[in-house]
Structure 1
Amino acid sequence: MKKIVKNKSSYVVLFGLGILIQSCVPTKNIRKANTSVPEVYQKQLNDTLNSGMTHWKDFFSDTYLSALIDTALVKNQELNIILQQIAVAKNEIKARKGEYLPFVNYQVGAEVEKASEYTRKGAVEKNLPIREKEAFPNPLQNYSARLFASWEIDVWKKLRNSKKTAVMEYLASIEGKNFMVTNLVSEIANAYYELIALDNQMAIIEQNLEIQQNALEIVKLQKQAARATELAVKRFEAEVLKNKSGKYEIKQQIVETENRINFLLGRQPRPIHRTSENFLNTTIGTISTGIPSQLLLNRPDIRKAEYELAASKLNVKVARANFYPSFSLKADVGLKAFKPKFLTSTPESLLYSFAGDVVGPLINRNAIKAEYANANALQLRAVFEYEKTILKGYMEVTNELSNIENLNNNYEFKNKQVDALTKAIEISNQLFQSARADYMEVLLTQRDALESKIELVETKKEQMLAKISIYRALGGGWK
């Protein structure tokens, strides 16, 4: 009867201790992340067809561009750096997984010890009977071979949650790599179309130079016939020289753009193969945006923020578990003797031990409290980061949809402007030759035509870049 009462008392003490520990652990409530987005984009149909799910090889039809992207995905240094970071994160999972499994180690050792006769051990050995003295050599040698194990029992799931955190961080690193791939694909495509636009601008300047050169020759002939002055000749000459100098500015931009692509491809400078003809006839094609909620699955940066939020929640649990006591077991078994031949003599040479520990914080828990507060603050920051990334993704798609629509209208009017000014050049030249127009009218018309053609190429380039931007904003390029 007394034994039963004693056991009940022990249970009451343990239960009370558990309640005391639980009451001493602080708790904080962190609000959930707001992942709501509108059902549809503005002026878009409620259709799940999404261009962001298209593979980049199907999205970009230019074979030269596809070859450049293929090379970059293998040789880009920054991407390869991220791949090594992923390998580190993967190894971290293995390391944390091993923390909540038992550790078993082995030890083989040998030592020599000479005890002073004026110590307890030395005095005991000196006063042993002669038969025992023969058994104890002086100096004393020790040989041992043993196994020892330790295991922290993960009662509060601290170690398992730590391993899950490593998994979330690993998945976040993969999504970070995917986001890097998305940006890399779009950056190469942007530079490629900028290069093609520069080629077309160079061609326009050369065409305009031919027209201006012909006009200069006509003015020189008219001066010889006393129908034009030296001023008109010099003005036409200056316009020709201006456009010749402009060619070198474009050449420099071409070199820099080519080198930017080569850098992204991780190689030394070399010419970039490309198709620049019929650039103005390139069609943008139809972009399907799907529905906004697809961004949560398609965009790697949003998925990365989601995994980081999950990791921060687990870190809070890990930090909270530090308030609870930890339970560990230790065991040791082996053989030990002062001569090697006695090591196999059992049970005389056998030694073993077994121990269990309960360790927990009691007084001065400021460091643990600070760590727990930091984990909660980091979790709240991850919530805001997640919400910000979702909002940013939605805004990017909305902005690019508006940009594409406005650029289409802009290009339509720019094209009409170029047609009108091209005809105006022919008319002004005819009027000038018949002395019905001033040479300044011819110069200004040629200048306006050149600027309008270059602006038309720029607008077409902006259309292509907008197409690439919305593809990236929808989460395309990494699959």
Structure 2
Amino acid sequence: MKQNNYVIALLLILVSSCQFHRPLQQEKMKVPASFSEGQSTTTNDSIYQGDESGKIQQSELKSWNVFYRDTLLKNCIDSALIANYDLRIAYQRLQQSRAGLVYTRGIRLPDFGINLGTGVRKFGDYSIDGVGNYDTQFSPNLNENQRLPNPVPDFYAGVYSSWEIDAWGKLKNKKQAALSKYLATEEAQNLITANVVSEIAQLYYSLMLFDKKIEIIRESILLQENALLICEAQKASGKNNELAVEIMQSEILTLKTMLLEIEQQIIATENQLNILLGRYPQNILRSNWKPETEMTDTLAVNIPSEVLLNRPDIREAFHQLDASKAELVVAKTAFYPTVQINANMGYQAFRAALTFRPESIAFNFFGNLVAPVLNRRTLKANLLESNATKAASYLQLEKTIVSAFTEVYQLLQVSKRLDQMERFKTEQVSILEKSVETSFALFSSGRATYLEVINAQQSYLQSQIELLEIANLKNKNQILLYKSIGGGWN
């Protein structure tokens, strides 16, 4: 009867150790099906779940060496992918994460090893072992090899094995958590790659923009110098005065100062680009300014929201959520009993010459069933922490998706307005170009003042630079849009 009570008490302890709290249920977030819908609440399950069936394959998104058409830019990106310090640091962090993955790869397999040992023991003459060993020496059942020396040597050579049976999936989920964390680290590296490629492209196009600005300003200086010659001729003939000549000279000096400022911007931009390329300051080889369509490939306007699954930050958030789910299962199964099997087998003797005889073979085999009883508060705390981590990972995923969707939506809206701005500014440049020709003709015939010539040239120069800035903004917008839909790292 007393033994039955012990068995019942043991079963109650095991059952109580298997109890755990249920995690909080999460609501499924709603994602607009396309970026043109704006405030639509159509649920896009493929984004929320990261379902492979709804995922746009990476091959469908053009790689950066197809999207960017400039050969010299591609050379810069190739150099950065090898020498960029951020990418090299990220690679080492990936190797650190890989080490954790390697550790858990064989976590469900038995542990097996070789054990070689030797030692010596001396029992006290007035101890139980000492008296027993001494008395044993006089037994008639012992042969000469079985009589114990004093002190007693011990020689052992054998193998051992230990195996925790993954009855509840704890080890499986530990392995899954390590794999998900490794994949998250890999996506973090991809995100750094996409950022580096995007920054290099933007800086490269900025250098091309500065070169084109210098070209325009030099043309404007030539126009001003021609106007100065006319003004000096009019002064000599009495049709103009010294003030007009001085103002013309001042305008030329202003333009030359602008050239120096742009050259300084070029040096600063080249230095930024060289840092991304992992090298010391040097000149950056680059092409001449080209129309937007010749610099980057065209992206479609009607982009489905599933394209967000190509983004490394969203993929990283999914992997972090998977890791937190697996760690939550590990925290739950910590309440369950642990089943472990241990075994040893080898040769053991107290004389070296007798060690490797068949009679010296020794082995043991035993199993353990261990259930937590006194440390349940620690396990409950770990479970609460794992639940909170999972909830935070889910919210982080939601935040990342919302931020990514908003980023793409905003860039698409900016793209539409930049197209309109470019049309208006192109028309303005065309009108002001004619006004410069008209002002020169009128000034040469004495029907316009030098101030009208200066104003016409200043307006024309300013409109040309503004048109260039808009074109550069369109380039940068395309670069950012390409990165925002997951391009640039593949």
Shorter-chain TM band: 0.7 to 0.9
* Structure 2 equivalent of residue 26 of structure 1: 21
* Structure 2 equivalent of residue 298 of structure 1: 310
User: CA offset at residue 288 of structure 1?
Assistant: 1.3
Residue type of the alignment partner of 2:402:
L
1:332 matched to 2:354? no
User: CA offset at residue 157 of structure 1?
Assistant: 0.9
Q: Is the 8 A contact 1:52 1:477 kept in 2?
A: no
CA distance in structure 1 between the aligned counterparts of 2:470 and 2:237, rounded to whole angstroms: 43
Q: Find the residue that maps to 2:106 and give its secondary structure.
A: helix
User: CA offset at residue 373 of structure 1?
Assistant: 1.2
Q: Is the 8 A contact 2:321 2:397 kept in 1?
A: yes
User: CA offset at residue 33 of structure 1?
Assistant: 4.2
Q: Find the residue that maps to 2:429 and give its secondary structure.
A: helix
* Structure 2 equivalent of residue 378 of structure 1: 389
* Structure 1 equivalent of residue 282 of structure 2: 270
Q: Per-residue CA shift, 1:373-415, capped at 9, x if unaligned?
A: 1111111111111112222222122111111111111111111
* Structure 2 equivalent of residue 257 of structure 1: 269
TM-score, reference length from structure 1: 0.87
1:462 matched to 2:473? yes
* Structure 1 equivalent of residue 228 of structure 2: 216
CA distance in structure 2 between the aligned counterparts of 1:17 and 1:370, rounded to whole angstroms: 19
Q: What's the % identity of the aligned pairs? A: 34
1:108 matched to 2:116? yes
Of the three residues 147, 150, 174, the one matched with 1:162 is: 174
CA distance in structure 2 between the aligned counterparts of 1:50 and 1:327, rounded to whole angstroms: 44
Q: Is the 8 A contact 1:145 1:335 kept in 2?
A: yes
Residue type of the alignment partner of 1:379:
K
1:176 matched to 2:188? yes
CA distance in structure 1 between the aligned counterparts of 2:187 and 2:351, rounded to whole angstroms: 61
Residue type of the alignment partner of 2:95:
A
User: CA offset at residue 251 of structure 1?
Assistant: 1.1
CA distance in structure 2 between the aligned counterparts of 1:436 and 1:262, rounded to whole angstroms: 53
Of the three residues 81, 92, 106, the one matched with 1:98 is: 106
Of the three residues 209, 233, 237, the one matched with 1:197 is: 209
CA distance in structure 1 between the aligned counterparts of 2:144 and 2:128, rounded to whole angstroms: 17
Residues 47-126 of structure 1 aligned to structure 2 (within 5 Å): 53-117=61-125, 119-121=127-129
CA distance in structure 1 between the aligned counterparts of 2:220 and 2:475, rounded to whole angstroms: 25
TM-score, reference length from structure 2: 0.85
Q: Find the residue that maps to 1:54 and give its secondary structure.
A: coil
1:362 matched to 2:370? no
CA distance in structure 2 between the aligned counterparts of 1:32 and 1:164, rounded to whole angstroms: 24
Of the three residues 14, 33, 37, the one matched with 1:38 is: 33
1:314 matched to 2:326? yes
* CA distance 1:402–1:124, change in 2 (3 Å): same
* CA distance 1:26–1:42, change in 2 (3 Å): closer
CA distance in structure 1 between the aligned counterparts of 2:190 and 2:156, rounded to whole angstroms: 54
Q: Find the residue that maps to 2:24 and give its secondary structure.
A: coil
Q: Per-residue CA shift, 1:229-265, capped at 9, x if unaligned?
A: 3322222222211211211211121122223222222
User: CA offset at residue 19 of structure 1?
Assistant: 4.0
Q: Is the 8 A contact 2:69 2:296 kept in 1?
A: no
CA distance in structure 2 between the aligned counterparts of 1:429 and 1:29, rounded to whole angstroms: 77
CA distance in structure 1 between the aligned counterparts of 2:102 and 2:92, rounded to whole angstroms: 16
CA distance in structure 1 between the aligned counterparts of 2:433 and 2:481, rounded to whole angstroms: 33
User: CA offset at residue 119 of structure 1?
Assistant: 4.9
CA distance in structure 1 between the aligned counterparts of 2:296 and 2:150, rounded to whole angstroms: 94
Choose 175-184 or 403-412, whichever is displaced more.
Answer: 175-184
* CA distance 1:26–1:257, change in 2 (3 Å): same
Q: Find the residue that maps to 1:275 and give its secondary structure.
A: coil
User: CA offset at residue 32 of structure 1?
Assistant: 4.4
Q: Per-residue CA shift, 1:311-367, capped at 9, x if unaligned?
A: 1111111111112222222222222222210112343x3333333222222235222
Q: Per-residue CA shift, 1:258-299, capped at 9, x if unaligned?
A: 232222222333322222144478587642145433224322
User: CA offset at residue 14 of structure 1?
Assistant: 6.9
User: CA offset at residue 108 of structure 1?
Assistant: 1.1
CA distance in structure 2 between the aligned counterparts of 1:432 and 1:280, rounded to whole angstroms: 37
Choose 232-241 or 124-133, whichever is displaced more.
Answer: 124-133
Q: Is the 8 A contact 1:331 1:355 kept in 2?
A: yes
Q: Find the residue that maps to 1:99 and give its secondary structure.
A: coil
* Number of equivalences: 468
Residue type of the alignment partner of 1:386:
L
Unmatched segments (≥5 aa) in structure 2: 39-55
* CA distance 1:244–1:217, change in 2 (3 Å): same
User: CA offset at residue 116 of structure 1?
Assistant: 5.0
